[in-house]
Amino acid sequence: MDKVRFSDQLQQGCLTLGVSVAEDVPPRLHQLMNELLKWNAKVNLTAITAPEEVLEKHFLDSLAVLPEVEGAASLLDLGAGAGFPGLPLKLARPSLAITLVDAVSKKVGFIKAAVAALGLKESRGLHARAEGQPEVEGIPRAELLIARAFMDLPDWLDLAPAYVLPGGRVVAMLGKAQPDSELHARAAERNLRLVSARQYRLPFSGAERQVAVFTKV
């Protein structure tokens, strides 16, 4: 997919999702896609390899949660895989300091290479396994903690609070939507509070998504 078509598709998708990015973001995401596909040909990073699917299911899916990320100075992406949603969010909001953590070394290797290739400041990949002890694991706490399909929601809400700075937020990117009543109940069991829950669909495939935000009580 050439840069022009990629940019048109990305901007169309952002418009449908109700988010906006600066003019320099589409070409940089195009570069990230090329890096991802080049690495993926040698090292299995993602099962999604068609450029159109990378654009929607990795990039637009990541950018869809920009409303939930606004206002945070630091972001921790646990179980980042090949860097999603952290890398697209960083490109869209350059002032955000990000740490992307994954337990698979080859994925962290790609994240580090992408950060270097794109010249991203205040960004780092970290090879670690998050088990609820950030100091021992060397994982920094952040104002905003995010994960995309990292683990089942109850397990995520058990783990997440340890990695959030006081007053920070926990963001869960989910597939099929869960009722607000269930989200409230899951949060209350763990001394958390549901701040917001929003359903949306990816712009081209129509795949269902939900993003839920929690804080400590």
For residue 90, give its domain range.
61-216
Residue 49: inside a domain, yes or no? no
Residue 24: inside a domain, yes or no? no
3 state SS for the chain? CCHHHHHHHHHHHHHHHCCCCCCCHHHHHHHHHHHHHHHHCCCCCCCCCCHHHHHHHHHHHHHCCHHHHCCCCEEEEECCCCCCCHHHHHHHCCCCEEEEEECCHHHHHHHHHHHHHHCCCCEEEEECCCCCCHHHHCCCCEEEEEEECCCCHHHHHHHHHHHEEEEEEEEEEECCCCCHHHHHHHHHCCCEEEEEEEEEECCCCCCEEEEEEEEEC
pLDDT, residue 30, reads 98
Q: State the CATH number of the domain containing residue 142.
A: 3.40.50.150
Residue 50: inside a domain, yes or no? no
Residue 31: inside a domain, yes or no? no
**Structural domains counted in the chain:** 1
Residue 54: inside a domain, yes or no? no
Report yes or no on whether pTM surpasses 0.75.
yes
Residue 10: inside a domain, yes or no? no
Binding site, annotated residues: 79, 84, 130-131, 148
Per-residue pLDDT of 12-32, as tens digits, reads 999 999 999 999 999 999 999
Residue 8: inside a domain, yes or no? no
Binding site, annotated residues for S-adenosyl-L-methionine: 79, 84, 130-131, 148
Residue 84: inside a domain, yes or no? yes
Per-residue pLDDT of 132-179, as tens digits, reads 999 999 999 999 999 997 789 999 999 999 999 999 999 999 998 899
